[in-house]
Amino acid sequence: MNPDLSIAETEKEIIEEFALFDSWDDKYEYIIDLGKTLPVLDAKYKTDENRVRGCQSSVWLVAEYKDGKLFYQADSDAMIVKGLISMLIRVLSGRSTDEIIEARLDFIREIGMTTHLAQTRSNGLLSMVKQMKHYALAFKIKDPVPSKN
């Protein structure tokens, strides 16, 4: 993430990037390219415990809480899902738990990826978002007043 930008500003940035494409093929090609840039998740994290349920493809998500902020790492065996994850990480990783919980993530709709939120696709974008927010909630409960430790 870019620490100078808020969640809303990062979302706006992504929406602007997608406005450059006029065909679906191009949009997806870009998403796949984003997926390719996602750092490789260490094999030790690819456990059943870290697996996000409800996906046709395998998705693993790890969250680390540091100095009142939550940092995500994730991976998938499917490239488009990986690209979608990389956008979620760009928007949400490194934010406070409150910011993550309140994030509206309108960019998903704005860039035309709503179909990936539908249950029928079961490709896990919805499960991913839920899981990321669950982590934020869990850490908020553990650390209600984030202290820089």
Partner 1 sequence: MNISLTIPKTLDVTAIRKEFPILNREIKGRPLIYLDNAATTQKPQQVIDAIVHYYTNYNANIHRGIHTLAEEATADFEQTRDVVKTFIGAGSREEIIFTKGTTESINLVAYTWGRKNIRAGDEIIISNMEHHSNIVPWQILCEEKEAILKVIPINDAGELILDEYEKMLGSKTKLVSIVHVSNALGTVNPVKQMITRAHEAGAVVMVDGAQSAVHLDIDVSDMDCDFFAFSAHKLYGPTGVGVLYGKKELLESMPPFQGGGEMIKEVTFNKTTFNDLPYKFEAGTPNIADVIAFKTAIRFIESIGKEKIREHEKELLEYAHQELEKIPGLHIIGKARDKISVVSFIIEKAHPQDIGILLDNRGIAVRTGHHCAQPLMDRFSIPGTARASFAVYNTKDELDELVNGLKRAVKILA
d(CA 86, CA 31): 9
d(CA 64, CA 145): 17
Could you tell me the smallest distance in angstroms from the CB atom of residue 112 to partner 1?
10
DSSP 49: T
SS3 74: strand
Q: Which entry of 52, 55, 113, 126 is annotated as an active-site residue?
A: 55
Contacts of 74 (CB under 8 A, 6+ apart): 38, 41, 59, 60, 61, 62, 85, 88, 89, 128
120 binds partner 1 (CB under 8 A): no
Binders of partner 1 among 67-106, rule CB under 8 A? 77-81
Whole-number CA gyration radius for the chain: 15
Phi/psi at 56 (5° precision): -70, -30
Q: Is 20 a known active-site residue?
A: no
Torsion of CA 118, 28, 76, 40, to 10 degrees: -150
* Residue from the set 9, 56, 67, 114 that interacts with partner 1 by CB under 8 A: 56
Could you tell me the smallest distance in angstroms from the CB atom of residue 16 to partner 1?
22
Closer CB to partner 1, 78 or 92, in the complex: 78
Inter-residue contact 86 to 38 (CB < 8 Å): yes
127 binds partner 1 (CB under 8 A): no
Closer CB to partner 1, 88 or 103, in the complex: 88
34 binds partner 1 (CB under 8 A): no
Closer CB to partner 1, 33 or 102, in the complex: 33
Could you tell me the smallest distance in angstroms from the CB atom of residue 115 to partner 1?
9
Binding site for partner 1 (CB under 8 A): 24-25, 28-29, 32, 56-58, 77-81, 123
Catalytic positions, please? Answer: 55
